[in-house]
Amino acid sequence: MEEVVGVSSCVLGDMASRPNFGLNELDFVFSTLVVGCILNFTLMYLLAPTLSASAATLPSIFAGCPASHMFEPGSYGLVNRLGTLVYKGTVFAAVGFVAGLAGTALSNGLIKLRKKMDPNFETPNKPPPTLLNALTWAAHMGLSSNLRYQTLNGAEFLLAKGLPPLAFKSSVVVLRCLNNVLGGMSFVVLARLTGSQSVAESKPAEGEVGSASEKEKLVVVESEDVQSNQSTNK
C-alpha cells in the first residue's frame, strides 16, 4: 500500500509542479519514480516490527531521546525531542543518498539502453548527474521528509485521541496522500535550486531571430508606403 499510494501520490505531486504537467520532463519524472520506489521500500523495511524490536534504543548520544518520533508520548524534554529530529534526519538523509545513487544510476542506465536500442531516441533534457541528484535526495529526505513525517506523526497522535477508529483511519490515508503529494512538489523545487534537474532551453527558430525588430521595421516601411501613396494621389 505504501508503494502504490505513496509513490503514486509523490509522482503526481512531482508532475503537478512541472510545466505542462511534466509531459516534457518525463525522464525526470521517471527518475523520481525509481528513486521513490527504492526510498519507500527502504523506509518501510527500517520501520518493520522485527527490526524495531531488535533495535529499540538509539545510539548512546541519543539514548534519552524518543525512539520513534519527536512527538512520541513520554516525559521527554525539548532537547531530547530535538535530538530525535536530528537523528531521524540523519538516517533519512543517508537513506535518501543511497537510494538517490541507485535510482539515478538505474534510470540513466535504462535511458542509455533505450538509446542503444533506438538510435533515433533523444531525451528532452540532460540526464541528472548521479552524485548531485543523490545529494539533492539526501537534503530532501533529511530536511523536507523528516520535518513532514515528524509533524504527521504528531498530528496522527492528536487525531487518534479525538476521532473514532474509522474516521481516524480515513484521516490517516488522506493525510499521508497529501504528505506524499507535497513531498513530490517540494523535491521539484529543491532539484531546480540545486541544478540537479535542469530543463533544456528551447532554441528559437531561425526565422524568429530578431523578429521584434524586423516587425518594427516592417511597420515603418508600410507607413512610409502609405504616406507616399497618399501624396501621389493628391
Average pLDDT over the chain reads: 78
More confident residue, 42 or 182: 182
* pLDDT value for 218: 46
- The pLDDT value recorded for residue 131 is 92
Q: What percent of the chain has pLDDT over 90?
A: 18
Tens digit of each residue's pLDDT (9 = 90 or more) over 54-107: 455 667 788 888 888 888 888 899 999 999 899 989 999 999 999 889 888 888
Higher pLDDT pick, 232 / 153:
153
- What count of other Cβ atoms lies within 10 Å of the Cβ of residue 213? 9
- Tell me, what's the pLDDT at 153? 86
Give yes or no for residue 123 having a pLDDT over 70.
yes
Q: What is the average pLDDT across 122-146?
A: 87
Instruction: Tell me the pTM.
Output: 0.72
Tell me the residue type at 196.
S
Question: Under a CB-based contact definition with an 8 Å cutoff, are residues 7 and 37 in contact?
Answer: yes
What percentage of the chain reaches a pLDDT higher than 70?
Answer: 78
Q: What pLDDT is stored for residue 49 in this prediction? A: 53
Backbone angles phi, psi at 119, to 5 degrees: -60, -25
What is residue 195's predicted lDDT score, i.e. its pLDDT?
86
Give the span between the Cα atoms of 148 and 150, in whole angstroms. Answer: 6
pLDDT for 226 beyond 50: no
How far is Cα 152 from Cα 162, in angstroms, rounded to an integer? Answer: 16
Answer yes or no: is pLDDT of 136 > 90: yes
Whole-angstrom CA distances from 21 to 16, 92, 132 are 5, 28, 24
Nearby residues of 141 by Cβ (< 8 Å), 6 or more positions away: 39, 92, 93, 95, 96, 97
